[in-house]
Amino acid sequence: MLWNAKNGELQVSGKTMDYVSFGTGEKTMVMLPGVGDGLKTVRGMAAAMAANYRQLAEEYTVYMFSRVRELTEGYTTRQMAEDLAEGMELLGLRDAYVVGVSMGGMIAQFLAIDHPEQVGRLALMVTEPRANDLIREVIGRWLAMAEEGDYGGIMTDTMERSYSEKYLRKIRKAYPLLIRMGGPKDFTRFRIQAEACLNHDAMDLLGQISCPTLVIGGEQDRIVGAEASRELARRIPGSKLYMYPDYGHGLYDEAKDLLPRLKHFGRKE
């Protein structure tokens, strides 16, 4: 398959974890998606992810992991990091370059804290060390929509909060199609992950992260806020901070220099 894209699943402590992999590079990168994983996992998405991130495919073999399918009430970001650590161990992945986006960044924090041998480098994008007032407001709205089964509302609010007006003008016409493609029949998985974001708190443990770390944020972030990225950088020893002045939470779709920036950080000694 193009870019060596593969779909897979693992049995992690009796639970099933979906993942995809692509690329042929000697170095390993692990990517962790945001809370949207609660609406749709990476299952069957290998070719699409490989196409989106093909710039990484020659230098890295990339693995993208979903949370386990069997999430239960009260599941935490730290438990999700434990599942991830076990999944990585099963695949023989150590000293990886771990890139966590939004909620994925919350999980990545605990992976680096509790399993430093598995994280050689760390990139934390548009994420936070602890739930703040802004994300409580935003996720509270999404949880209310989930209670009503309002997938369209969640998707529309997420996109409107994530992107610049210039980008939104290009994609708003596609909203009806994206919504018609359909959300989950049951929002339990989304709700559990959203609540895990609200309960995430690694603030007082961030000083234990010892690997080279890059924190990337957006000054226009209307989901976790710009200050969350600055707080992470202050708390993680020796970390580097880069803030995109014109982008928000969806900078991973808008910033054309993002993947080159990630690759550059991965090459540094």
**pLDDT of residue 43 exceeding 60:** yes
Residue count (the chain): 269
CATH code of the domain occupying 2-267: 3.40.50.1820
**pLDDT of residue 269 exceeding 70:** no
The answer to whether 49 and 9 have CB atoms below 8 angstroms apart is no
Please report which confidence band the pLDDT of residue 2 belongs to, taking 50, 70 and 90 as the band edges. confident
Distance CA 38, CA 192 (A): 8
Which among 16, 30, 155 has a CA at the least distance from the CA of 92? 30
Residues 6+ apart with CB under 8 A from 174: none
Query: What pLDDT digit, counting tens, does each position of 211-244 carry?
Result: 999 999 999 999 999 999 999 999 999 999 999 9
**What is the pLDDT averaged over residues 44-59?**
95
Percent with pLDDT over 90 in the chain = 95
Which among 39, 55, 86 has a CA at the least distance from the CA of 184? 39
Query: What pLDDT digit, counting tens, does each position of 74-84 carry?
Result: 999 999 999 99
**What is the pLDDT averaged over residues 125-136?**
98
Specify which residues 9 forms β-bridges with. 18
Domain definitions of the chain by residue range = 2-267
The answer to whether 127 and 239 have CB atoms below 8 angstroms apart is no
Residue 229 CA to its chain's centroid (Å): 14
Which among 217, 220, 221 has a CA at the least distance from the CA of 229? 217
Distance CA 105, CA 160 (A): 21
